[in-house]
A = this chain, B = another copy of it.
Amino acid sequence: MDLKSKIREIEDFPIEGVSFKDITTLTKDRDAFQESINLIVDDLKDKDIDYIVGPEARGFLFGAAVAYGLGVGFIPIRKPGKLPAPTASFEYKLEYGKNTLEIHKDAISKGDRVAIVDDLLATAGTVAAAALLIESLGGQVVALEFIIELEELGGRDRLKDYHVNTLVKY
């Protein structure tokens, strides 16, 4: 299936000059959604994964479906103040400003084999921070899985230490 044809491009969102990749048209399409999740599950099934980690909010959507399909647990990474138990946090720089991610400290144990799933690989800022957060708790980041890759932003170059799989490239 041509998954790219199921993704809607919306010009000048959220700001002028950006061509936003809208995955809601892909998730609404039952066959495209099934195939997207199945392709990620297939890529992970021989990697002895313990947990899928997904960043809020679109990483919840794809990550939880992958966890269910793979038969493993799902662990959320959230914006500050959302997780109720003690957290580890990681602050990282964006092009303008900064962002902080949190994970429950007791969510990851030493040696846990983890795959991170998110919708979009752009500059890789979020996923690189998420990987460091998992590793700081003793987890092993075995794979990074994305629906979309924006190749010209060079995110993959920042992730050379990891197995990276993306389904649709722009």
The minimal Cβ–Cβ distance linking A38 to chain B, given in whole angstroms, is 9
Q: Are B74 and A61 in contact (CB under 8 A)?
A: yes
Q: Are A84 and B28 in contact (CB under 8 A)?
A: no
Query: Scoring A residues 28 to 66 as 1 if CB is less than 8 Å from chain B, else 0, what string do you get?
Result: 111001100100000000000001001011101111110
Confirm or deny: A136 has a beta carbon within 8 angstroms of a beta carbon on chain B.
no
CB-contact partner of A74 in B28, B67, B84, under 8 A: B28
Q: How far, in angstroms, from A62 to B65 measured CA to CA in the complex?
A: 8
Which of A19-27, A140-148, A149-157 is the contact stretch?
Answer: A19-27
Q: Are B61 and A76 in contact (CB under 8 A)?
A: yes
Confirm or deny: A130 has a beta carbon within 8 angstroms of a beta carbon on chain B.
no
Confirm or deny: A10 has a beta carbon within 8 angstroms of a beta carbon on chain B.
yes
Q: Are B22 and A84 in contact (CB under 8 A)?
A: yes
How many copies of this protein are present in the complex?
2
Q: Are B60 and A64 in contact (CB under 8 A)?
A: yes
Interface range, A side: 35 or more
Residues in B with CB closer than 8 Å to A20 are 84
Q: Are B10 and A71 in contact (CB under 8 A)?
A: no
The minimal Cβ–Cβ distance linking A63 to chain B, given in whole angstroms, is 8
Q: Are A84 and B10 in contact (CB under 8 A)?
A: yes
Confirm or deny: A3 has a beta carbon within 8 angstroms of a beta carbon on chain B.
no
Residues in B with CB closer than 8 Å to A61 are 54, 60-61, 63-64, 74, 76
Residues in B with CB closer than 8 Å to A107 are 24, 28
Which single residue of chain B is at the shortest CB-CB distance from A69? B68
A selection of 8 A-B contacts at a CB cut-off of 8 Å is A24-B83, A24-B85, A29-B73, A30-B72, A34-B71, A56-B57, A61-B64, A64-B64
